Amino acid sequence: MKSYSFADLFSGCGGLSLGLSLAGLNGKFAIERDPMAFETFSANFIDNASPKVAFDWPNWLAKRAWDIELLLAQHKDDLIKLRGTIDVLAGGPPCQGFSFAGRRVEDDPRNLLFKKYVEVVDALQPQALILENVPGMRVAHARRNIVGLPVPGEHAEKPRSFYDKLVDSLDVAGYRMEAMLVDSSRFGVPQRRSRLIAVGIRKDLCEWLDGGIRRLFVLLDEARLTQLQELGLPEAVSASSALSDLETVGREMIACTDPESSSGFREVKYGKPTTTYQKLMQAGHQGNMDSMRLARHRDDVQERFRRILVECRKGVRMDNESRKTYGLKKHRIYPMASDEPAPTLTTLPDDILHYCEPRILTVRESARLQSFPDWFVFKGKFTTGGDRRTKECPRYTQVGNAVPPYLARAIGIAVQNLLEEVASKKSAVGQGIAELPIAATA
């Protein structure tokens, strides 16, 4: 099989890049505007990266955080010169403006980034596109006035989703798109995480596909089954299967060893794996573990969490009455169930309670639930608050925003197999073994 290459836009800390690299694709460059997220990306894919995931970075692109608008302003000609060398363009505009977890706002500047994304697509003209986003991207949005009511008018624009608008824009750029809702827990990720996976194929390649672009999702399910078999994982990995080696009860506790943590925090001493998933996560790790810092809960908070773990149903979000009973103001809080995949991780660390300990999860435990291996290091602050939440991307946010690497790995395998099918058919026609597809002869 040919060695396929990819670039990653809006890469975050690198979950999608990691999965594609583990699938055998070669990374060329990545664009991420947040300095904390890019520091994490750089630590894993650029600085002392293992050959399996190291990026072949272009000399003209500084290895730093980049805004996509600045990239296009300064390096559009350089991007155009890369045509033919980037097979897959991965990543898509940030999901916050589309998410059901918060109010969707059509005019949020982050949601206009897809126009710049299309501009990069047009410059590179890769064979395939991979985008991952929240299901809300397909929900139609009506433009609203300042009091929150639909803008009146007989000729008002019919509400359309951002996905529809993106499809139209990419159609003009020469790509056909298909999308499907996918649950990460079916791919060996110990987390129920429903996401919209959208794939675009350049129109000149579509005619070679039996069944069109939907063929990709057939190949994705095949890759899913193969991945579970290769990794030795069950159909669903439970939270305890992922995290039991990081539990604190009966374990040696030490001072937090993370160099970016303030003093006074504790962590559990890194132990041996007890499940297949834990063995996969610990493979390749050396030295001290980062991001193991435990939260410092007040005694009354711990007692409240103990009551919740005993008295509330696990694995489902607490309802309004339950939250009032325990004096909780948060709208979203889940006590995890130990025997099933965790609920969807968000960027807020206090949305989920540990399944058997009265505390929130550590960054490392959150990363485990996303399928980041333990050798993957995280950089920057652990968390932030207030107005800084919209301006900074600390570790919990990096993990919560990431594409689960095991999901990305299966997608990468499926996309490679799809492109290989196209290449094989084109080669057969060139050798006179097969006939041109009907669309190509029209």
Q: For the segment 160-173, what is each residue's pLDDT rounded down to a tens digit?
A: 788 888 899 999 99
Cβ count within 10 A of residue 198? 21
> Which whole number is the average pLDDT over 31-42?
97
Unique residue bearing structure tokens 């943590």: 261
Signed CA dihedral, 391, 394, 399, 402: sign only: positive
* DSSP string of 279-295, one letter each residue: HHHHTT--SSPSS-PPP
**Which has more confidence, 380 or 148?**
380
pTM for this entry: 0.90
Q: Would you place residue 383 in the very low, low, confident or very high pLDDT band (cuts 50, 70, 90)?
A: confident
Instruction: Supply the pLDDT for residue 146.
Output: 38
427 pLDDT higher than 50: yes
> Which whole number is the average pLDDT over 113-124?
91
Reported as a single tens digit per residue, the pLDDT across 168-187 is 999 999 999 999 999 999 99
Reported as a single tens digit per residue, the pLDDT across 93-110 is 775 544 444 444 555 565
Q: Would you place residue 68 in the very low, low, confident or very high pLDDT band (cuts 50, 70, 90)?
A: very high
Least confident window among 63-72, 265-274, 323-332: 323-332
CA distances from 432 to 18, 200, 429, 436 (A): 39, 29, 5, 9
CA distance 95 to 133: 6
Q: Would you place residue 432 in the very low, low, confident or very high pLDDT band (cuts 50, 70, 90)?
A: low
Instruction: Supply the pLDDT for residue 66.
Output: 97
Instruction: Supply the pLDDT for residue 210.
Output: 87
Helix %, strand %, coil % of the chain (to 5): 40, 10, 45
What is the β-pairing status of strands 253-255 and 352-353? Answer: unpaired
Superfamily of domain 5-150+158-234+404-441: Vaccinia Virus protein VP39 (3.40.50.150)
> Which whole number is the average pLDDT over 112-121?
87
> Which whole number is the average pLDDT over 7-28?
97
Instruction: Supply the pLDDT for residue 102.
Output: 45
The DSSP call for residue 12 is T
Q: Single out the catalytic residue among 95, 256, 312, 393.
A: 95
Reported as a single tens digit per residue, the pLDDT across 199-237 is 999 999 998 998 889 999 999 999 999 999 999 999 999
Token readout for 139 is 């929900």
> Which whole number is the average pLDDT over 21-25?
97
> Which whole number is the average pLDDT over 148-170?
71
CA distance 177 to 163: 10
> Which whole number is the average pLDDT over 407-434?
89
Q: Is 95 a catalytic residue?
A: yes
Query: What would you report as the CA-atom Rg of the chain, rounded to the nearest whole angstrom?
Result: 23
Instruction: Supply the pLDDT for residue 287.
Output: 82
Q: Where in the chain is the domain with CATH 3.40.50.150?
A: 5-150+158-234+404-441
Task: With both helix axes pointing from N to C terminus, report the angle between 35-45 and 15-22 in degrees, rounded to the nearest 10.
Answer: 20
Instruction: Supply the pLDDT for residue 219.
Output: 97
> Which whole number is the average pLDDT over 407-430?
93
Percentage of the chain lying above the pLDDT 90 cut: 69
Q: Where in the chain is the domain with CATH 3.90.120?
A: 239-401
Unique residue bearing structure tokens 């505390």: 359
442 pLDDT higher than 60: no
* DSSP string of 349-404, one letter each residue: GGGEE-SSSSSBPPHHHHHHHHT--TT----S-S---GGGGGT---HHHHHHHSPP
194 pLDDT higher than 90: yes
CATH no. for 239-401 = 3.90.120
Instruction: Supply the pLDDT for residue 279.
Output: 98
CA distance 374 to 382: 17
Least confident window among 30-44, 78-92, 146-160, 336-350: 146-160
Looking only at Cα atoms, what is the longest distance across the chain? 77
